[in-house]
Structures are given as structure tokens and as C-alpha cells.
Structure 1
Amino acid sequence: MNAQGLISDDYRPSFSGHETFPLRYGWLQKAYHAVNDAPSAKHAVHVFRDPDSIARFGVGRNMVGAIRYWATAAGILEESSDGLLTTWLGAMLFDKNGTDPYLEEDASLWLLHWHLAARPRLTSAYWLFNEFRGGSFVRQDIVSPLLKLAQERGWSRVASTTVDRDLQCLLRTYIGGRGSSEAGESILAELGLIRPMDKYRSRLSRGRKSTLPNSVFLYCINEFWENFAPEQATMSFENAAYGRGSPGRVFLLDEDDIVDRLEQLESISDGTLAWSETAGLRQIIRRKPRSLKIERRILRETLMRARSKVAA
């Protein structure tokens, strides 16, 4: 993730790859197991290309490509110089002892959303959650500034129809198809981040997010920090709340919710981070180096507790 986001000189925009298919239930789990079962990263690429891929995933050829696209964008798979690999997130959710193989827990959905929207890899998603300052919108309200940005940055071959199709697919991922059975297939609709207002207009739902666990917030604060300013020992409230790719932006949080979470940082981070309000200066202080091991343990414990409550 680059702090400059879409205006980085080496940024390459992406408005395609999903074949217009929104993310659906079951896809990420299938992608994880297909790649995990492959003998090598090089062979893993072919599970989405070989003649058996249609039977393997139980969908058409174009949809196979969409499964790979979403699994990579959501942080379940990652591309390497050798091919395709599974990630720690994919293993935590879908492995033999996975904590949420059917994506039934809010924490899992928030993590997937973070990977989709906090990084500029998906241009439309990143722009909508990090750059758009309005409330309600129709698609053209998003398409027009993206086309203007493409022209300003000299992005080649960015057509209006391509951007519009990309945005349609994104909206269907978060709110489903209006008035269709597809709504129940939209994994991220449960987060309520984008809400339909009428046939054409939608709105971003900014405010307190009661289903967002503090463990997810902690992980995302640390990831944002690592990419925004890893050498700094402090982070201002403004950056955590309003910086591009920050938890405040990506999760559409209001200030009260952010402050409530920051006040609990020290306890939930095992003392790694602390919140300070001194002489009107609000900031997060890093007291110890980031520990991915601790963060991932806390995330796993969150999901395990949620699963045990359901089982009870």
C-alpha cells in the first residue's frame, strides 16, 4: 500500500479482472483449497487455467477467472514470482483448523473489506472509500472523477464503459443486485457500508460500526501505520481517522467511534500501542515494535470466541 495511493508515479490502475461477477459465498474457500492443494506455486496458477478448472470450481470459464481475481484482491491468495500462494488470512479462515470456513463471522468480513478497499489495487473500491467525500451518489458521480483522474495521470485505455462496469460490480458486491435474488449472494452486504436508496442512488453509511471487533481495528491500524510511516513512533489522530487507506476512511467510522477504540488500544495490543491526549495533541504512541504474531493470535481468538458462542 502506497501512502500516495492513486497518484503514485508507478501506480497501475485496475478496472477489470472480475468479468463483471461480484464476490460470492464459497468462492474464497474454493480458491484457497485449490491453491493449497497444488504441489507448488507454479502449479497453483494452472488450477485456474487448465481444462479441469470448470469442473473443479463448478462454474463457467469466465467465473473461474473471477474467483481468482476476488481471492487475490481479498488477501486469500497472493501472487509471487513463482506463481500463486495462499496467505496467513486464507489459512486462518479456511485451513483444516480454520476459524471461519463459511464466513459467518463479522470479523472475517471486515478483514476481507479491508483488503479490498485499503489498498489501491482495486481502483474503484479504493477511490470510493478513500477519496469520495459525499454521502449519496449515482454511479456517474464516481465514474466522472475517475475518468478525470485517468486523464490527469495519463492512464491508458480507461474507457467510461469499463469504469462503469467495474463500479456496478463493486456495488453488487456490497449491496447486491437491486430487486434481485443476488442480494443474498453478496457477502459484504452484511457490513452495511453501502446502502441502496432507490433504483439508481446509493449512499455510504458513515458512523459507528458495532460489528467491527477491536482486534480487527488493531490489525488495520498497524498495517496502515506500516505502509504510511513505518519509521515514525507516533501517529496523529487525523491520520488514523482521515488518511487515505486508514481504518477511519476504509471503515467509514465517525470520530467518536474511533476515539473509543483508540482509548482501548493499550489493553487490546498487549501494550504495543497507547493512546495519548496531552495539551490538545491526540496521537497514538508506539511503545514496542509491531508483532504480527500477537495481532494474528488476537484475531484468531476473536474468531474462535465468536464461533464458540454460535455453537453454544
Structure 2
Amino acid sequence: MKNPLFEEGYRSQFSGHETFPLRYGWLKKAIDATLETADEPNNKRTVFLADDAIARFGVGKNMVASIRHWATVTEVIEDEGDQVRPTAFGKLIFGPSGQDPFMEHHATMWLLHWKLCGRANKTTWFWAFNHFGAQTFRRDDLIQGLLKLAAARGWPKASDTTVRRDVECFLRTYSSTAASHVGAPEDALESPLAELGLIRTIGRRDDYQFARGPKPTLPPSVFALALNFFWERVGNTRTLSFEMIAHEPGSPGRVFLLDEAGLADRLVKLEDQSDGLFRWSETAGLRQVVRGGDFDGRALNSLIRASYKKNRQGEMS
């Protein structure tokens, strides 16, 4: 299987967020603004870049740029020629009749985490979850690892300062920041993805730990959705081995930090939870998953909607 970070022509990304992690309400703001201006000509230049963008979003110029960045990399909005429009996914979650416009459910956070770390668009995010081997680490471990990779791959614009800022934003995205450690009060607000508990601070402030485990708040339908997207990357095959799903870069096991016991438990139950779209097989000591057929857009949307239906019914995944 090809590893995107090592493919010829891969373009690394260590910026765009203006040092601000994703915050509550930002994706809904992006959806609302692009829906309001959808019929305006060349709204790409008016929604986020016009003089009234600061007033529209209620934040400073750099934060406006950050909102656009996060809405784009999570595939909530997209560029179409000279227009910026909400995607079908963006409207499904954050639109006027969306499933979770105010990000009140863990399903939304897991979906966004997969968008950020299941693909290699954001270099630090993908590399940290899919390549960095240590469970406990310090900030500089990530920085030096990325700088070494960037030098080996010949990536431009990967200076020490740029990578350091990107790593700091990454850690603020997933770990809690104590109010006493920041300047302005608004900087103490956590990213919604910190609620997933994927990275913990331990000991001193600069010590961290990846929290590998069963992930009880991860809905089965979001797991199935991620497995399908990973399957598409692998290629035309009806089966995937347990080892690939657990350990391959970009796999659900790596991105969701699932331990092998937790992953195996999910795969065994997957046939019932996915209405037969996936089937667990264990014969002659070979553990693998069989996919029943190709997913269409309707099936994918049904999986997303199922996450919120169960959440509203108070069912634990």
C-alpha cells in the first residue's frame, strides 16, 4: 500500500491555521456565511477576504483565515471555481437542518478527527497519529521528528519556526490547556477535539501521552465509515486483514488509537452494526474483514445519520 507522505509530488502542509486550533462554533459560522453568499458572484473573495469579513464572523482577521482553513481541511466547505460553497457533508452536520450544528455530540468530533488524521492533507496531524511510534513524548520529539522527515523528503517551507508552531497548534487541538498557562481568556478555550481524550498531558506541562484504548464514545457507524474510506485507499479488494486495519498508516486502528483487543471487539460486532456491509471472518487462523459491496453516497449518509440517531436515544456505542 502506498504511503502518502512518501509519494512523489506530495505537498506538505504546516500552516494555514494562523496558530489557532479549531474552536466550537467556527464550522457553523463557515457554513452560515457560505450559504448566505452562495449566489453572489465570486464569493470566494467576499466571504472570507472582504472588508466586512471581520464583522460577519465576529473575530479578528487572522481568526477569519483560521476559520476558513479548518472548514476547508475538514471538508465542510470547498472551492468551486470562483465560489466557496458548503459541501454535502458540511450541510449534513452544520447546515440549518444539520445533525449537530453546535458540536454537542462525540460523533461529530470523531468524524472531524478522521477528516484531519485519516488523510495526509495536514502533515503533522497525519504523521503524529500514523507514524510517530512513541506513546509518551515531549513537544520537541514531534518537532525534531517532523524536521528530520522534511529534510529527508526535501519539503520546502518546513522551517524550524513553521513546524514548531504547527506542532503547538496540533497539541492545543487535542490536549487541554490550563487557563493559568495562557494569556488572553479566550485562549484558554479548548478545541472540541480535546474532548476525545486522545492526547493527555502527564507530569510536567510539556509531557504528553497518546491514549490508546477501546474508545467507548466512538460510534460504530463512524468506525464503519472510516473503515470504508481506508478501504478505498487500499484499492480493489474484497478483504482486509486485521493487521492492516490495526497498524497500517491511515487505518482506523492507528487514527482512532484503538488497542488490538478493542479493535477486534468492534470488528466482530461490525456485521450487525453495519447492516451486513462488513463481515468479520476468522478461519484457519486468518483474521480479516469482508466487504459486501461498494458504498454509494446514500449508504455513507445513512451511516452518519445513524451515529446521531443512537446518540439521541441515549445508547452508548
- Whether TM exceeds 0.5 here: the answer is yes
- Match runs of 1:59-208 below 5 Å: 59-180=59-180, 182-197=187-202, 198-208=204-214
Gaps of 5+ in 1: none
Q: Which residue of 2 aligns with 1:224?
A: 230
What secondary structure, in the 3-state scheme, does the structure 2 residue paired with 1:258 have? helix
Task: Show the counterpart of 1:22.
Answer: 21
- Give the Cα separation in 2 of the matches to 1:199 and 1:288: 48
Answer whether contact 2:35 2:85 (CA < 8 A) is retained.
yes
**TM-score, normalized by length of structure 1?**
0.93
1:209 aligns with 2:215: yes
Stretch moving more, 15-24 or 180-189: 180-189
**Which string of whole-angstrom CA distances, capped at 9 and with x for unpartnered residues, describes residues 18-74 of structure 1?**
111111111010001111222358414530001110000000111100000011112
Q: Which moved more, 1:20-29 or 1:291-300?
A: 291-300
| Aligned equivalents of 1:272, 1:187: Cα separation in 2 | 30
Question: Counterpart of 2:275?
Answer: 270
Q: CA deviation at 1:302?
A: 2.3
For the residue of structure 2 that corresponds to 1:215, the secondary structure is helix
1: CA distance, partners of 2:171 / 2:2: 25
1:55 aligns with 2:55: yes
CA distance in 2, matches of 1:155, 1:100: 38
Residues in 2 aligned to 1:80 and 1:5: alpha-carbon distance in whole angstroms: 25
Q: Say which SS state the counterpart of residue 119 (structure 1) adopts.
A: coil
Residue 160 of structure 1 aligns with an amino acid whose one-letter code is D
In structure 2, distance between residues paired with 1:6 and 1:83: 30
Provide the alpha-carbon RMSD of the alignment: 1.8
Cα pair 1:269 1:295 within 8 Å, conserved: no
Which SS does the other structure have where 1:137 is aligned? strand
Q: For residues 31 and 239 of structure 1, what CA distance do their matches in structure 2 show? A: 36
SS in 1 for 2:43: helix
| Conserved 8 A contact 2:31-2:90 | yes
Conserved in 2, the CA contact under 8 Å of 1:99 and 1:307?
Answer: no
Q: 1:284 aligns with which of 278, 281, 289?
A: 289
Structure 2 unmatched runs, 5+:
none
Give the secondary-structure state (helix, strand or coil) at the position aligned to 1:46: coil
Whole-angstrom distance in 1 between the partners of 2:78 and 2:125: 19
Using the TM superposition, give the Cα deviation of residue 183 of structure 1 relative to its aligned residue in structure 2, in angstroms.
4.7
Question: Which segment is superposed worse, 136-145 or 172-181?
Answer: 172-181
TM-superposed CA distance for 1:166, in Å, is 0.5
* Alignment partners' CA distance in 1, 2:309 and 2:296: 20
Write the letter of the residue equivalent to 1:287.
G
Q: Give the counterpart letter for 2:167 in structure 1.
A: L
SS, match of residue 12 in structure 2: coil
Query: Quick one: distance in 1 between partners of 2:224 and 2:42?
Result: 34
Query: Partner amino acid for 1:68?
Result: R
Contact 1:43-1:83 within 8 A present in 2 as well: yes
Q: How does 1:213-252 map to 2 (within 5 A)?
A: 213-229=219-235, 231-252=236-257
Indicate if the aligned counterparts of 2:44 and 2:82 stay in contact, CA closer than 8 A. Answer: no
Quote the Cα distance in structure 2 between the aligned partners of 1:268 and 1:294.
13
After the TM superposition, list the runs of 4 or more consecutive aligned residues in structure 1 that deviate by more than 6 angstroms: none
Which amino acid in structure 1 is aligned with residue 255 of structure 2? V
For the residues of structure 1 that align with 2:280 and 2:45, how far apart are their CA atoms? 44
Establish whether residue 5 from structure 1 lines up as the match of residue 15 from structure 2.
no
What code does the residue aligned with 2:87 have?
T
Distance 2:296 2:31 in 1: 25
Residue 140 (structure 1) shift? 1.1
| Partner of residue 312 from structure 2, selected from 287, 296, 307 | 307
Shifted more, 75-84 versus 258-267: the winner is 75-84
Question: For 1:105-159, what per-residue CA distance to the aligned partner results, in whole angstroms no more than 9, with x for missing partners?
Answer: 0111000100011111111111100001101111110111211111111112311
- Paired with 1:101 and 1:17, the residues of 2 have a C-alpha distance of 23
- Cα distance in 1 for residues equivalent to 2:176 and 2:71: 19
CA distance in 1, matches of 2:310, 2:212: 27
Answer yes or no: is the 8 Å Cα contact 2:44–2:79 preserved in 1: no
1: CA distance between counterparts of 2:196 and 2:220? Answer: 15
By how many angstroms is 1:309 displaced?
Answer: 4.3
CA contact (8 A) 1:266 1:274 kept: yes
Partners of 1:248 and 1:258 within 8 A in 2:
yes
Q: Percent identity?
A: 46
Structure-2 separation of matches of 1:81 and 1:223:
26
Cα distance in 1 for partners of 2:71, 2:279 equals: 34
Match of 1:253 in 2: 258
| Greater displacement, 217-226 / 89-98 | 89-98
Q: 1 CA distance for matches of 2:49 and 2:220?
A: 39
